[in-house]
């Protein structure tokens, strides 16, 4: 007979149970799920120069003066 259990290893009790099961390698086979891939993929990136220009533009909008000239 095979038993499938989902154990939450984010709790101390869950980690303790998994450690105990790992001691019995002949009869216990542990399968860990694949980590969840970030669903939101960055489709467009910008260069460092573009990011820097964006920063200076936002600062100029906030303070009303070009901070690069100070």
**Mean pLDDT over each residue of the chain, to the nearest integer:** 86
pTM of the full predicted structure? 0.47
Banded model confidence at residue 40, pLDDT cuts 50, 70, 90: low
Alpha carbon separation from 49 to 16, 45, 56, 58, 60 (Å, rounded): 50, 12, 11, 14, 16
User: 7: burial class by Cβ within 10 Å (0-12, 13-18, 19+)?
Assistant: middle
pLDDT in tens, 8-25: 998 999 999 999 999 999
- What residue segments make up the domains of the chain, in order of their start? 12-33+43-69
């Amino acid at each position: 007979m095979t038993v499938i259990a989902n154990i939450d290893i984010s709790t101390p009790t869950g980690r303790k149970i998994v450690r105990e099961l790992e001691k019995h390698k002949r009869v216990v086979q542990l399968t860990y799920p694949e980590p969840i891939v970030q669903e939101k993929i960055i489709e467009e990136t910008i260069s460092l120069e573009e990011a820097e220009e964006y920063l200076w533009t936002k600062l100029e909008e906030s303070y009303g003066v070009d901070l690069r000239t100070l």
